[in-house]
Every structure is written in structure tokens, then in C-alpha cells.
């Protein structure tokens, strides 16, 4: 069988491929990185907080994979992107794609509070979960832990940011009020 309504069936592994959805899911961490930079560009401090969190999540997840050493499913399917087969690394706990996606979704939701943007981020994140499970790149537990950790880090970075900004404003107000008291 070749193509059926833009759905391609792989006879060897019996995996249904959706080329556009799969490609979006595969590049979703980078898509979110660029889209979030665009959305947060006007607020340099908020953009900096997002970027620090984004790259920290990637680093922490890579470190966790080395520490936990839980392998990916044995029958995982390499992803084909633009004619190239991309093999995955050996360990899959936690899922990095899902972690970064849910970090970005949580961060954007907490700061922008925009229904449409958050819904878009959430749909892409859920598509990525489906793609990671369909290709058997991760087990359900690896995806679940990745999502939960991503939400945790998105929330944590937002709390740290809000606390630092609030304390900065408080210090500024205290200095100004003290200066006004002495004048």
C-alpha cells in the first residue's frame, strides 16, 4: 500500500504515519522555543527566565536519563524526517520532548494567560505524546513522568521569576520611600 489520504502505513512495524503531524511533533521543542521567544520578546526578563528554564530542562532531563538508565521500548521505530532516519538514544526516562513541551505550555499559560495560545501549545504537546507512544519511542510511564516534570519545572521557574520580580519592586519601593523620608 502506498499513500491513503496522506496516511502512510509501514508494513514492517504496522505503524500508521501522519507525515505533517509527526514532523510537527518531532520538532515541537524547537517550535515552542521559537514561538515562545517571539511571544515573550517584549519582556526581556521574562524571555530570559523562559530561556534559562528551557535549556535547564533539557540538561536536567539528559542527566536524569543517565542516572535512571531506563531503556526505551525494545521495538521502537526510528523517526523519518525529510528523508533521513533518525535513531533515538538508548534511554527514555523521562521523555525530553514531552518535558520541554509541557514546560513551555505551563510557562506560557502562567504568564500570558491567553486561552488560544495555551490551547495551541496544549494541542501540540498532546500530539507529541501520541507520536512518542505510537512510534514506541517511550513507554507511557516515561511520557507521564516527562509531562509531570515539565509542568513542575514550568511552575517552579514562574514562581522563582515572580518572587524575584516582586522582591525587586519591594526593594525599589523601600529605597525610594526611605529616600523620600530623609528628604
Confidence of residue 14 (pLDDT cuts 50, 70, 90): low
Higher pLDDT among residues 151 and 92, named by residue? 151
pLDDT at 41: 92
Is 43 or 21 the better-scoring residue by pLDDT? Answer: 43
- Per-residue pLDDT tens digits for 34-61: 999 999 999 999 999 999 999 999 999 9
Long-range (24+ apart) CB contacts under 8 A made by 37-45 are 39/108, 39/112, 39/117, 40/111, 45/161, 45/165
Output the nine-digit C-alpha cell for 47.
524571555
What does pTM read for this prediction? 0.76
**pLDDT score at 149:** 95
The percent of residues in the chain predicted with pLDDT above 70, rounded, is 73
Distance CA 160, CA 134 (A): 36
Q: Give residue 179's Cα distance to chain centre.
A: 45
Lowest mean pLDDT among 23-37, 61-75, 119-133: 61-75
| pLDDT digits 0-9 by tens, 85-111 | 666 677 768 888 899 999 999 999 999
Residues whose CB falls within 8 Å of the CB of residue 31, separated by 6 or more in sequence, listed in order: 24, 124
Q: Which residue has the higher pLDDT, 15 or 114?
A: 114
Write down the pLDDT at residue 8.
42
pLDDT computed for residue 126 by the predictor: 92
Amino acid at each position: 500500500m502506498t499513500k491513503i489520504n496522506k496516511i502512510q502505513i509501514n508494513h514492517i512495524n504496522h505503524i500508521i504515519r501522519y507525515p505533517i503531524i509527526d514532523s510537527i511533533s518531532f520538532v515541537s521543542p524547537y517550535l515552542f522555543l521559537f514561538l515562545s521567544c517571539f511571544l515573550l520578546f517584549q519582556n526581556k526578563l521574562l524571555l530570559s527566565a523562559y530561556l534559562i528554564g528551557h535549556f535547564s530542562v533539557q540538561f536536567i532531563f539528559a542527566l536524569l536519563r543517565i542516572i535512571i538508565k531506563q531503556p526505551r521500548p525494545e521495538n521502537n521505530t526510528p523517526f523519518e524526517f525529510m528523508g533521513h532516519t533518525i535513531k533515538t538514544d538508548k534511554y527514555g526516562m523521562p521523555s525530553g520532548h514531552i518535558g520541554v513541551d509541557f514546560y513551555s505550555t505551563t510557562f506560557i499559560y502562567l504568564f500570558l494567560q491567553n486561552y488560544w495560545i495555551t490551547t495551541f501549545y496544549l494541542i501540540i504537546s498532546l500530539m507529541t505524546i501520541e507520536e512518542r507512544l505510537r512510534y514506541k519511542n517511550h513507554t507511557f510511564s516515561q511520557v507521564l513522568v516527562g509531562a509531570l516534570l515539565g509542568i513542575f519545572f514550568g511552575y517552579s521557574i514562574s514562581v522563582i521569576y515572580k518572587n524575584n520580580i516582586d522582591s525587586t519592586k519591594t526593594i525599589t519601593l523601600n529605597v525610594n520611600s526611605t529616600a523620600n523620608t530623609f528628604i
